[in-house]
A = this chain, B = another copy of it.
Amino acid sequence: MLIIGERINATSKRVAEAIGQRDASFLQELARQQVDAGAHYLDVNAGRGQGSEQEEVDLKWAIDTVQAATDVPLSIDSSDPRAIKAALAHYRGNAAIINSVNAEEGTLAALLPLALQHQADVIALTMDDSGVPKDVEGRLRACDRILERAAAYGVPLERIFLDPLALPLSVDTNQGMVTLRTLEQIRTRYPQAKTTLGLSNVSYGLPLRGVINRALLLMAMYVGLDSVILDPLDARLMAHIKAAQVVLGRDPFCKGYLNDYRKGRLRE
């Protein structure tokens, strides 16, 4: 399973300060730590709420800074297609992830051609401009729309990571099963497409959030989730992922689990 490290995100006050002060060593240390902990990709979000032009400059600087410290590909994360476009042109290497599109036509028209041009993968949220559908069928309609547009633009479905979206269970306890059933249906209906999951929303408003996050993730892994966006410095969460790989028969002789244990990467 692909781990996308979420820590370099300007919604974190400390990260926003580091970007504002051009504190390269802080960002690079956070990059290296996540890679050491097992991240296969690093998400980079530089949106500090200071406008589109500033975000573009900040994002390019953050990408340069992180790429100087690690070799892992990046997930370029912005709600502004112009910032993503500028960042992709700036990015070195050809395996970036665009984070993210949804079923809204404007975003698809802006970002799918870039995905084709840069051979980038694309995280696609199963929602549209009217918000997150509350039921499985609504989210699958968003998938239909996204994959139809991807095909029209010539982006291979293998490059699309559909996110079935986890909403807070504190607001609606049906939403866990909506997420998991959406994931099941995606696996059945669109076997070529990949899947991903932004995990942490699910536990918003509940105590012991990590336990709720792990419960959803382990079930999603059983259903066949391909990748996940999370904090790889959470050694307890990483331990459960590695244990799940063992249970699912994807870690021959438990070699990966035992290796990570010996390196102190796992926590009970």
Contacts and interface: CB of A to CB of B under 8 A. Distances in A.
Contacts of A254: 169-170, 173, 206
Given A254-B169, A254-B206, A211 B177 contact: no
Interface stretch (A1-9, A22-30, A129-137, A212-220): A212-220
Contact of A212 (B170, B246, B267): B246
Interface residues of A, number: 41
Q: Provide the main secondary structure of the chain A interface.
A: helix
A250 B248 CA distance: 25
B208 A176 contact: no
Copy number in this complex?
2
A123 interface: no
A69 interface: no
Contact of A240 (B211, B223, B239): B211
Interface in A181-218: 202, 206-208, 210-212, 214-216, 218
Contacts of A216: 247
Contacts of A210: 268
A251 interface: yes
Interface string A151-182: 00000000000000000011001101100100
Contacts of A110: none
14 contacts: A173-B246, A173-B251, A173-B254, A176-B248, A177-B247, A206-B254, A207-B266, A208-B268, A212-B246, A214-B240, A215-B218, A219-B222, A219-B244, A236-B268
Interface of A: 169-170, 173-174, 176-177, 180, 202, 206-208, 210-212, 214-216, 218-219, 221-223, 236, 239-240, 243-244, 246-249, 251-254, 257-258, 261, 266-268
Given A211-B243, A215-B247, 13 more contacts: A169-B246, A173-B251, A173-B254, A176-B246, A176-B247, A177-B248, A206-B254, A207-B261, A211-B240, A218-B218, A218-B219, A219-B219, A219-B247
